[in-house]
Amino acid sequence: MDSWGTLYVPVMFAYATPRLRWWFGTLSPSCRQIRPTLFARDRRPVPGFAFDGYLRYSHLVMGTRLRRRRQRSLRGRLPWLPAVLCGLLGGLLLGLWPGGVRAGEEAQLEASILRVKPAVVLISSEVGAEVAVNCGVGPVHRVTPAPTYETGSGFILHPDGFIATNGHVVERFFELNEPRLAKEFMAAAVAQACGPALAMVPEGARQERLRAIAADPANRGKVYLRKQLQVHLSTGNVYPAGVRAYSPAIKSEAPPSGPTASRGGKPVAVESGRDVAILKIEEHDLPTLRLATNPSALKLGEPIFVIGYPGVVLNHDFLSRKSQLEASVTVGRVSGFKIDLNDRRVIQTDAAITWGSSGGPAFNLKGEVIGVATFISTTLEGDQAIQGFNFLVPTDSVHDVCGQIGVTPNPDTRFMTEWVDGVAAYFRGEYQHSLAHLDAAEHLMPGVPDIQRVRADAELRVDKSPRFMRRGKTVGLGFGAGLVAVLAVLGLRKVVSDRVRTGAAGVRRVGAEELRRRLDTGSGVTFVDARHGAKFDSATVQAAGAIRYDVEHPEVPVFRVQVHPDGEVVAYCDCPDEATSARVALQLMRAGYTRVSVVRGGFPALLTAGVPVAPKEANIGAAHARPTA
């Protein structure tokens, strides 16, 4: 959810919640109070209401009651405050909630992938040769046969250039079998140099002749091998690499044995069959990954993702080489825990892995490396992968091999600090803050495609948002907190006000129409004019016979002289919710008056109902003409 949403959602909740309360909480009682009318002139149904088609209600009566109900409801009584606060807090929670939704598991997965991708690398191994071939006649041919080229995946575990991968990714490079390779390259060179001259010879004889030329002592020692191991970063930079530690893949036909690691060029005996190799390139301040400290804590069904460079994508005929160094991500779950032939623990997963993914790291949703892709399942012929049944070497083996060569994985680097903070700010919607960290990460390691993509999107979102909203959720939270504070102040004022104001059960309210009818029938009623201040001073008339009562300076003893405590007293004012007249009624009730009520709607309602009025000066200190018993 972007910064606009963070501000818009709480505001709309605060706006809509009271109105929903009015429609569903206040409208229904109003409907229950409507009285059916049987006037022949008014049998039209009220628009928006249907009562099975039998009863008809006066739209005039309904309109009057609804207007009165709405006026009372919209005057901000205390019960409104919890509704508004609940709506506002609900909106704030939705504004911050993981995008319900964007910040669920999918957003966490996307953020985790972005954080770790720059530290995943492509590893290429190339072995070639230059061969001098004597075909028996003619000059010596110098031939360069096609080299053997293999690729795999790996990841950086130390900022000074230490990289982890599978042992079998660098097996041909590290376990260089020179006699066998020399024989293979000589055969290829003889076919390339001498084959055209034997094109007319039958195939069987031709192959026999080529084998004889390759075995000729004149061609012995004429193969000059060259090998090359390289690490390719996503920035496009390529580094020559050396093998610092090596443990070959497990082989069902041969038990693990022999020296399989090196330190400074000297063999170091390390238990083989782990399928782990540690490479070294000459570079510093590289992005790194964090290894899970306890891979055994993995749970069945836990979501994971694997990043690497599968050969089917790397060498795809329809894909440009411009994106060749973009790592591929596959997602799956932990589907089992198995034991290999050497009684070592391996992790089974249904995440897709194929040739070229070997050595790629597998992550949990926290972005920690929990294993390394090692071997897959294939058909009996071995030429087709069976997906859904792939296996990972736990990071325990990586820790062990690193410890034997004195390397400690270090996930805390300057680049990773800036990059991780930039990604986190981006997913919080703080795009301006994110850009600052992304710029710093770009300065430390230029050319990372993911930085460029996230940065471009953050800049686009900043340009679309207003200047005052560019602080993202901070503005939304600040605005929401301000609204809460304002409503709290208003609620406190309402509480204080209600201490001197009665509710429906405290002081009886009477309608002006009812008072007029009672006056017409001769009932004795004493009106009390509770208006005060400028409203009273500017008035020219008051109810006929009304007694002035100043609520701020009450003189109850004087009032008792004018009106007997057993008499009926009706107070009126012209303020919202009859607040002042209710205060007067409370004071009189405390003084012993038992028949006290207030005019619903105040003095304007008396005027509308046609209650007799008189000039204010004529009523000073006078009681109503009708005596009260």
Cβ atoms within 10 Å of 426's Cβ, excluding its own: 23
Q: Which residue has the higher pLDDT, 456 or 295?
A: 456
Cβ atoms within 10 Å of 425's Cβ, excluding its own: 20
Does position 447 have pLDDT exceeding 70, yes or no?
Answer: yes
Residue 86's pLDDT is 57
Residue 561's pLDDT is 79
Structure tokens, 183: 């024989």
CATH (residue range 120-280): 2.40.10.10
Q: What angle do CA 432, 438, 443 make, to 5 degrees?
A: 135
Residue 303's pLDDT is 94
Cβ(415)–Cβ(440) below 8 Å: no
Residue 100's pLDDT is 35
Residues 110-123: tens digit of each pLDDT: 999 999 999 999 99
pLDDT, mean of residues 351-373: 93
Of the chain, the percentage scoring pLDDT greater than 70 comes to: 72
Note the helical H segments in 363-430: 395-404, 414-428
Residue 97's pLDDT is 45
Q: 455: closest CA among 438, 436, 472? A: 438
Q: Which residue has the higher pLDDT, 505 or 219?
A: 219
| CA atoms within a 13 Å half-sphere pointing along the CA-CB vector of 81 | 14
Band of residue 102 on the pLDDT scale cut at 50, 70, 90: very low
Alpha carbons 457 and 463: distance in angstroms, whole number: 10
Cβ atoms within 10 Å of 239's Cβ, excluding its own: 18
Cβ atoms within 10 Å of 231's Cβ, excluding its own: 22
Please, what sign has the CA dihedral across residues 512, 513, 518, 519? positive
Residues 517-535: tens digit of each pLDDT: 888 888 788 899 888 777 7
Residue 19's pLDDT is 47
Residues 305-339: tens digit of each pLDDT: 999 999 889 888 888 888 888 999 999 999 999 98
Please give the span between the terminal C-alpha atoms of the chain, in angstroms, as a whole number: 71
Does position 258 have pLDDT exceeding 90, yes or no?
Answer: no
Note the helical H segments in 546-590: 556-562, 579-590
Note the helical H segments in 429-555: 431-444, 449-464, 473-498, 512-520, 534-538
From residue 565, give the alpha-carbon distance in Å to each of 384, 556, 592: 104, 11, 6
Q: Which residue has the higher pLDDT, 286 or 484?
A: 286
Q: Which residue has the higher pLDDT, 361 or 626?
A: 361
Cβ(232)–Cβ(251) below 8 Å: no
Does position 101 have pLDDT exceeding 50, yes or no?
Answer: no
Q: Where are the domains of the chain?
A: 3-96, 120-280, 413-464, 508-619
Does position 232 have pLDDT exceeding 80, yes or no?
Answer: yes
Residues 154-168: tens digit of each pLDDT: 999 999 999 999 999
Band of residue 45 on the pLDDT scale cut at 50, 70, 90: very low
Does position 498 have pLDDT exceeding 70, yes or no?
Answer: no
Band of residue 197 on the pLDDT scale cut at 50, 70, 90: confident
Helix (H, G, I), strand (E, B) or coil at 396: helix
Residues 272-299: tens digit of each pLDDT: 678 999 999 999 999 999 999 887 889 9
Domain 508-619 fold is Oxidized Rhodanese; domain 1 (3.40.250)
With b meaning 16 or more CB within 10 Å and e meaning fewer, what string describes 345-384? bbbbbbbbbbebbbbbbbbbeebbbbbbbbbbeeeeeeee
